[in-house]
Structure 1
Amino acid sequence: MNFRPRAKEAPEINLIPFIDVLLVILIFLMLSTTYSKFTEMQLTLPTADVEQMRDRPKEIVVSVGADGRYAVNRSSLEGKSVDTVAVALRDAAVAGKDSVIIISADASSPHQAVVTVMEAARRVGLSQITFATQTSASAGK
C-alpha cells in the first residue's frame, strides 16, 4: 500500500481547438450570406380599409349603462327584462346562430345587468359571447 500523496496537476483547458471551430463557423457564415441585392421589382400593393374587412353583420353590440339600461346595436331598449333583451337580440341576429354578441358594459354597471344579457342570448340560442374591454392606459383618459 502506497500512501504517499501524489502531486495534483491543475486541469488545463486548451482553447485552440475551440477557436478553430469558431473561425470555421465564422467563415462559413460569411460565405453563405449575401450582401448584395439582385434585381428588384417595384410593386404597388393594394390597400384595404380595416373597417370594411371586419364581418360586421355577425356582430351584435350590447351596451350596458351604469344604471342598468340596455342598447342593442346603438338602439336603446325600453325595458330591463330578459324577454325585452331577448327580442332585441333575435331581431339583431342577421347571421342567425353564427352571430357574436359583444357585451360592452360600464365598469359600474350592476352584475345582474350583464347576466341578464347572457341569459337573453341563451334563450335566443346565441352561444358566442365576448366582452369589450379597454386598456388601463385608455381608461384614465
Structure 2
Amino acid sequence: MKFRRQRIDDGGINLTPLIDVVFLLLIFFMVSTTFTKESRLQLELPTADGNPAIEQPESLEIVIDAKGQYQINDRRLGKASMRDLMQAMQGLIGSDTMRPVVITADANTPHQAVVSAMDAAGRLGLVHLSITTQDADTAE
C-alpha cells in the first residue's frame, strides 16, 4: 500500500495569530480606559450693555435677607409661610396683576426663599417679575 504525502502549502502568511493579538489589545484598552463623566456645567452667561430699567414707583418690591426673612414694600414679614407671603402680596396689589414685582435678595439668601417668593407671585398671577443684581465691576 502506497500512501500519498500531503503537500504543505507555503503560499501565504497565516493571519490568525495577528488577529488574536489585535483583539487582545482591543480588549485590554477597552478595559483599562476610564470614562469620565463631567458633572460640572459649562455655562457662558449672556451679557448686556444698556441702561438699567427705570424703577416704577408702583412696583411691588420683595427684599430677602441672608437668613431668608422677607420684607415687602418696607413691611417686615420675617420667615413667612407661602400663605402669609401670598396674603401680604395680595393686600398690596389688590386685583392689579400687571404690577411689576422686583425681588432683591442677598447673595447668601437660601435659594428656596427666592423660589418661594417667585412662586407666590406666580400663584397670584403676577407676570412681570425681575430680580435685581449688582454690576460685576462695582461688586467689590
TM-score of the superposed pair, with normalisation by structure 1: 0.57
* Structure 1 contact 68–80 (Cα < 8 Å) conserved: no
Query: Is the counterpart of residue 96 in structure 1 residue 96 in structure 2?
Result: yes
- Secondary structure of 1:137's aligned partner: helix
Q: How far does residue 123 in structure 1 lie from its aligned partner after superposition?
A: 1.8
Q: 1:118 is aligned with what amino acid?
A: M
1:128 counterpart letter in structure 2: H
Give a deviation string over 1:78-133, Cα, whole Å, max 9, x none. Answer: 44211111111111216701111100000110000001001111221112110001
Count of equivalent residues: 87
Instruction: Tell me how large the CA RMSD over aligned residues is.
Output: 1.8
1:65 and 2:74 are equivalent in the alignment:
no
User: Which structure dedicates a bigger proportion of its chain to helix?
Assistant: 1
Give every structure 1 segment of 4 or more consecutive aligned residues whose post-TM-superposition deviation is greater than 3 Å.
none
Identity of aligned residues (%): 30
Question: For residues 55 and 105 of structure 1, what CA distance do their matches in structure 2 show?
Answer: 19
In structure 2, list runs of 5 or more residues that go unmatched: 1-53
2-structure distance, mates of 1:104, 1:124: 19
Measured in 2, the distance between the counterparts of 1:68 and 1:54 equals 24
Paired position in structure 2 for 1:132: 132
Q: TM-score of the superposition, structure 2-length normalised?
A: 0.57
Amino acid at match of 2:91: D
* Separation (CA, whole Å) in 2 of partners of 1:72 and 1:88: 8
Contact 2:68/2:79, CA 8 A, preserved across alignment: no
Q: Find the counterpart in structure 2 of residue 56 from structure 1.
A: 57
Where do 5+ consecutive residues of structure 1 fail to align? 1-52
2:71–2:78 contact (8 Å) kept in structure 1: no
